A and B are shown apart, each in its own frame.
Chain A
Amino acid sequence: MRRLCAAAGAIALATSAFAGEIPRSDRRSGYDFMSRETRAMQDDDSANPGLLWVLEGDGLWNRRTGTASRACVDCHGDARVSMKGVAARHPSFSAAQGRPVNLEQRINGCRINQQKAPPLAWESRDLLALTAYVARQSRGLPIEVGIDQRTQAFLDAGRATFERRQGQLNLACSQCHDDHWGRRLAGNVVPQAHPTGYPLYRLEWQTLGSLQRRLRNCLVGMRVEPYDYGAPELVDLELFLMWRARGMTFEAPAVRP
C-alpha cells in the first residue's frame, strides 16, 4: 500500500512538473488573443503608434552624439541591413560584462564605449525610439537567442525566477502563463507571456514600453517588490522568456491592449 502511494505521488509530481510547459504546437503570441481591431492597428503601419518611435529612432540613428561625435550609422551603416535579426537574438552574451545583456543595455553600452556619450535613461523617449528602430528591423524573423555554456546558467536562473512563487499573493509567473493561459484574469485573457513584440505600444500605457516595464508591471500585480530596471534578475527572465518563445515570429513594435 505504501509503495502504491509513493508511486501515485511520483506520478502526480511528474505530471505537475510537465503540465506547465506549453507544447510548441500550442504556443501563441499575445497577438492571437487580441481583438480584431487591435490586430488591425498593429498590422497597419500608418495606424500603429509604435511607428512614431521607429521614425524618431531613424533620426537618432543618423545623429552624431557624445564626445566621439559619432552616430550609430558611422559604424553600423544601414540599419535595415546591419540590424536585421539583432533584436530577435537578444538578450545575448556580452563578453565585456560576462553576462547576457538586453537590447537596451547593448545600445547604452555602445553609447558609453563608442560614442562617449552618457547612457540613456530606462524608458526615456530616446532609448525607446532607438530600441524600437533596431527591433523593427527584425520584424517577421524567428526569435533565436543563442544558448551555450556561457549563457546556460543565466537561462536556468531566469527559469527559476519564472517558476518561483513570490510576493504577497505567493504566485509564480508559470502559474498564470503556463498553467492558465487563455483563461481570464478579471476581464482580460491571460496570455502565454511570449515577448514577441517588445518594445510595444500598450493601449493601457498610451505609450511605448520595454519588456522590463511589462515585467515590473506584472510583479507589482503579484505584489512583489519589483526588481530595478536593468537588474540581472530581469535580464535573466527576459533571456528565459525569449528562449521559451524560440522560433516564434518577432513582431516589434507590437500593439497590445
Chain B
Amino acid sequence: MASALINVPARAKRGEIIEVKTLISHPMETGYRRSQLGALIPRDIIRLFVCTYNGTEVFRAELHPAIAANPFIVFSTVATESGTLAFRWTGDKGFSVAESVAITVA
C-alpha cells in the first residue's frame, strides 16, 4: 500500500548539482493523540530515510513525531556518474520501503 513518488532528473552533466524530491505515503501518527474512547493511539512514524548513490550514502534524515503525514523530503547531490539512486524509508511497525531510480550522467 505504501507508495512513493520520486523525482530525479533522468540525465545530468558530470559535476552538476541535481535536486532530488521524494514523497511517501505514510500517516505519521505521533503517539500523543488519543482515540475518541481515550485510548492512546500508538506511535507509527517513519524513523529513518537514507539515500545511496551507487552504494555510497549521500543523504540521511531522522524523522520525529512532529513531522506531518506523507513526508516530502527534498535534497540535492552532485551527479558524479551514471547509476542508480536507491532510497529507503524505515519506521515503526516494521515499515520498510525501498525504491530506486536510474540516472545517466554524461
Contact = CB atoms under 8 A, between A and B. Distances in A.
A and B held together in a complex: yes
Interface of A: 44-47, 49, 51-52, 55-56, 125, 203, 206-207
Interface string B66-85: 00111010000000000000
Given A46-B23, A47-B23, A52 B72 contact: no
Contacts, number: 37
B10 interface: no
B5 A56 contact: no
B85 to A, nearest CB: 14
B3 interface: yes
Contacts of A44: 21
Contact of A52 (B23, B28, B68): B23
B25 interface: yes
B6 interface: yes
B54 interface: no
Interface residues of B, number: 15
Contacts of A207: 69-70
A46 B7 contact: yes
Contacts of A55: 3, 5
B68 A51 contact: no
A45 B27 CA distance: 20
Contact of B3 (A45, A46, A52): A52
Interface in B1-48: 1, 3, 5-7, 21, 23-25, 27-28
A250 B52 CA distance: 39
Nearest to A125: B1
A46 B6 contact: yes
Contacts of A51: 5, 23
A149 B25 CA distance: 44
Contact of B68 (A46, A47, A206): A206
A44 B28 CA distance: 22
Contact of B69 (A45, A46, A56, A206): A206
Nearest to A207: B69
Nearest to A59: B3
A125 B5 CA distance: 17
B43 to A, nearest CB: 15
Contacts of B68: 203, 206
Contacts of A125: 1
